[in-house]
Amino acid sequence: MVINGERVPFSGEKNILSVVRKAGIDLPTLCYYSELSVYGSCRMCMVEDQRGNIITACSTPPKNGMEIKTNTPRLKKYRKNILRLYLASHNRECTTCPRNTTCKLQDLAIRFGIEEIKFDKTDKAWKDEYKIDNSSPSITRDPNKCIQCGDCVRMCNETQNVGAIDFALRGYELKVCPAFDMPLAETECVNCGQCAAVCPTGAVTIKNDVPSVWKAIYDDKKRVVAQIAPAVRVALGEEFGISKGENVMPLIVAAMRKIGFDEIYDTSFSADLTVIEETNEFLGKLESGAKLPLFTSCCPAWVSYVEEKHPELMPQVSTCKSPQQMFGSVIKAYAKDKYQDDEKETIVVSVMPCTAKKAEAGRAEFVTEGSKDVDIVLTTKGLADMIYESGIVFKELEPEALDMPFGMYSGAGLIFGVTGGVTEAVIRKVIKDKSHASINNVKFCGARGMEGIKEFDLPLEDGETVLKIAVVSGLGNAEQLIRKMEAGEAFYHFIEVMACPGGCIGGAGQPFGLRNTKRLRAESIYASDKQTQLRHADENPVIPDLYNTLLKDRTHELLHVHYHK
């Protein structure tokens, strides 16, 4: 096809938009995500064809010989007017908006030089028309900033199969909200935050727990202990101009020490504990003939999904606490022993790529001896905000190492951050041949890759057993698999589910809006795994000692959970 007079070849692109972008032109969009269905509501991607017709590039397939222009005076005028209309009914208090500088609407207003809003409503109308919904532990909805692109609705319905939010009313009154405009916390929302990850403006944002962390750090009576999730290290650098996917863990540690955290550890440590506990649970079930599959339990959005939509499957969800919660209960028990004579209270802060972890930490099941296992959950973006606020020049920090003993981890714990990682870590434990070559070869089993559903057979070394395994990311994909099993069309022994497409690396708490980053983040985690001396969870030297001491009589209490929703 011909774009702005230049011939551009295409093959397989599903719409004109992809061809135009391939040609190096960043056609503006507010409602288009390649992973979601095409909605075509924002009209920003309009192009003009050879007959002067205006068409939306996102919803029109490319055709041989087609000639289009992307930047005519007419298109410019229309785009500007659309932006003015959006802005006229939009709360424009940008400086205090959590999406200030990462808002697509703000970005386009700057790009198209919008200096005055012709169709403005009264100042009062755009400020207070709708109530802000702060009920959820993970996300905030501010309908005054909604541009009705429907991205959140399609994400929640199509990708996640939750359906907690939808369009209500018609015409001028149209709005996005839960059924009967209920508070989000009272709906089936599983706190995955993926609605916020695709929202182009500040209409759906992630709860900000930064002030509580500062308060704890400034309090002399508190010892602030941090755990950092596997996926954070390959995403935080993007915020500070470091190449996408680079593992910046040593810089994160240096920054957190400067901020004032007392001890800094790695959630990959407790992921190793999860591997051990979950593998034992799985092999126990396999041997006893208990009902399978065993579903993984480390993704709290997935656990909530089962509770809401498939309570009958709860007995098949692993009883292992997630690594975040295992870490919390272990470190609090450890600190109680270690600091017996000191009056400081231990506060556990986790840094997570995930918004559902905020809800998980607040669950009643995760309170041990009257104290929450995890006190505060920061997102990756939240930690970046603290670094900015402290004036730390991230790129220029000298790398530092994690604290011991809980800074020790194996590559198996580290790869939890990518879809398929938990499964691969369990397989590394299940196989008897633990040679370097054998562990390396596990990567070919079928667990790796960004596909939403991966299914494969794993022949065990006994020459008899063949395990049927599935790895799923995205809750809609999990639903597909459950329906297949219910219909008797499939059987599995073990299923890993992560709610976010791609696993935790694609969590909603990661930095915003950078395209094609998931693959790079995944590659970086696998590269770091390959460079660790310890490749499977049993090699973690801190763990045997822990089982002989702290966990001796308390393994079940500290590492397992029985959800009672």
Residues at the contact surface with ligand SF4, assessed by CB under 6 A: 139, 155-156, 160, 162, 164-165, 189-195
Residue type, 126: W
Q: Phi, psi (5° rounding) for residue 396? A: -100, 5
Q: For this structure, is 243 an active site residue?
A: no
> Distance (Å, rounded) from C-alpha 125 to C-alpha 287?
65
> Distance (Å, rounded) from C-alpha 11 to C-alpha 408?
48
Alpha helices per DSSP H over 344-502: 356-361, 380-390, 411-414, 421-430, 436-441, 475-486
> Distance (Å, rounded) from C-alpha 141 to C-alpha 131?
9
Q: In the complex, what is the shortest distance from the CB of residue 115 to ligand HC0, in angstroms, rounded to a whole number? A: 42
Question: Nearest Cα to 161, choosing from 346, 308, 361?
Answer: 308
Q: Within positions 238 to 297, which residues make up the interface with ligand HC0, using CB under 6 A?
A: 267-268, 271
Whichever of 160 and 325 has its CB closer to ligand SF4, that residue is 160
Residue 176 binds: one of ligand SF4, ligand HC0, none (C-beta under 5 to 8 A by kind)? none
> Interface with ligand HC0 includes 299 (CB under 6 A)?
yes
Q: For this structure, is 504 an active site residue?
A: yes
> Distance (Å, rounded) from C-alpha 15 to C-alpha 248?
37
Q: In the complex, what is the shortest distance from the CB of residue 41 to ligand HC0, in angstroms, rounded to a whole number? A: 32
> Interface with ligand HC0 includes 178 (CB under 6 A)?
no
> Hey, how many other C-beta atoms are within 10 angstroms of the C-beta on 304?
24
Whichever of 18 and 270 has its CB closer to ligand HC0, that residue is 270
> Distance (Å, rounded) from C-alpha 55 to C-alpha 246?
40
> Interface with ligand HC0 includes 357 (CB under 6 A)?
yes
Indicate which single residue of 143, 382, 507, 511 sits in contact with ligand HC0 (rule: CB under 6 A).
Answer: 507
Residue 357 binds: one of ligand SF4, ligand HC0, none (C-beta under 5 to 8 A by kind)? ligand HC0
Sign of the alpha-carbon dihedral angle for 545, 549, 550, 552: positive
Q: In the complex, what is the shortest distance from the CB of residue 105 to ligand HC0, in angstroms, rounded to a whole number? A: 28
Residue 165 binds: one of ligand SF4, ligand HC0, none (C-beta under 5 to 8 A by kind)? ligand SF4
Catalytic, out of 13, 365, 400, 479: 365
* Site size for ligand HC0 (CB under 6 A): 21
Catalytic, out of 278, 424, 496, 539: 278
Q: In the complex, what is the shortest distance from the CB of residue 347 to ligand HC0, in angstroms, rounded to a whole number? A: 18
3-class SS of residue 150: coil
Q: In the complex, what is the shortest distance from the CB of residue 415 to ligand HC0, in angstroms, rounded to a whole number? A: 9
Q: In the complex, what is the shortest distance from the CB of residue 138 to ligand HC0, in angstroms, rounded to a whole number? A: 12
> Interface with ligand HC0 includes 354 (CB under 6 A)?
yes
Rg (CA), the chain: 25
With tokens 């939010």, the residue in question is 165
Q: For this structure, is 278 an active site residue?
A: yes
In the DSSP assignment, the letter for residue 443 is G
Q: Which two tokens stand for residue 202?
A: 């500040």
Q: For this structure, is 455 an active site residue?
A: no
Cα 41–chain centre separation: 26
With tokens 């540690």, the residue in question is 253
By annotation, the residues acting in catalysis are 278, 281, 298, 318, 357, 360, 365, 504
What are the residues binding ligand HC0 (CB under 6 A)? 229-231, 267-268, 271, 298-299, 322-324, 352-354, 357, 416-417, 422, 503-504, 507
